[in-house]
């Protein structure tokens, strides 16, 4: 028993020392006022239990404080994690707003005068010209045309270009949820 106590006493941190004592079973000795009063003569075992009782009562506050510090450290870590997640959500919100603004700018590119020009052209001629301009501008113009004229123009276009335009128009028409870039 003395060897175990001397090992436990070599541990400098109070909470670690308490854990060492508990692990060897030294703090399991019943501690009551009446037990100390009943035997005024302390034998070797009683002497060890008095020392342990004194040690355990002396480090109880330190162990509690250490436990509180560990809990506070864990709570601080959780708080930091929550703050990081909030910052990430804010970044994503800003990015979604940026995409929404890009979509709105995309729709505004096709001004009414430009749409009027293509509206008055023949479908085959308009298709030929729209294949040469920026695909986003072409999609914006086709979106502002009446469906019948837009379908005639798409019908006259190259299949790949028409499919690409259709994809852009379909993604722009889905304005309820901004899309992330792929």
- Please, what is the Cα angle at 48 between 45 and 51, to 5 degrees? 150
Give the global pTM.
0.40
Q: Which residues contact 114 (CB under 8 A, 6 or more apart)?
A: 141
Q: List pLDDT tens digits, range 105-141.
A: 877 775 667 888 889 999 999 999 999 998 988 988 8
d(CA 97, CA 103): 10
Q: Is 130 exposed, middle or buried (0-12, 13-18, 19+ CB in 10 A)?
A: buried
d(CA 28, CA 48): 12
Quick one: CATH architecture of 110-173? Orthogonal Bundle (1.10)
Report DSSP state, residue 175. Answer: -
Q: List pLDDT tens digits, range 2-57.
A: 555 555 556 666 666 566 556 555 444 444 444 444 444 444 555 567 777 788 78
């Amino acid at each position: 028993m003395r060897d175990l106590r001397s090992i436990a006493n070599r541990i400098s941190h109070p909470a670690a020392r308490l854990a060492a004592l508990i692990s060897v079973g030294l703090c399991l000795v019943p501690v009551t006022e009446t037990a100390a009063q009943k035997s005024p003569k302390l034998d070797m075992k009683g002497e060890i239990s008095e020392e342990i009782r004194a040690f355990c009562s002396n480090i109880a506050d330190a162990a509690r404080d250490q436990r509180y510090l560990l809990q506070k450290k864990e709570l601080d870590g959780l708080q930091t994690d929550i703050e990081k997640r909030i910052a990430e959500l804010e970044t994503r919100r800003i990015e979604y707003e940026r995409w929404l603004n890009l979509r709105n700018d995309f729709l505004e590119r096709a001004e009414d005068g430009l749409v009027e020009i293509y509206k008055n052209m023949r479908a085959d001629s308009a298709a030929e010209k729209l294949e040469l301009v920026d695909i986003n501008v072409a999609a914006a113009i086709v979106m502002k045309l009446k469906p019948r004229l837009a379908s005639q123009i798409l019908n006259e276009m190259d299949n790949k270009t028409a499919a690409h335009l259709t994809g852009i128009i379909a993604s722009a028409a889905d304005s309820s949820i901004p899309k992330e870039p792929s």
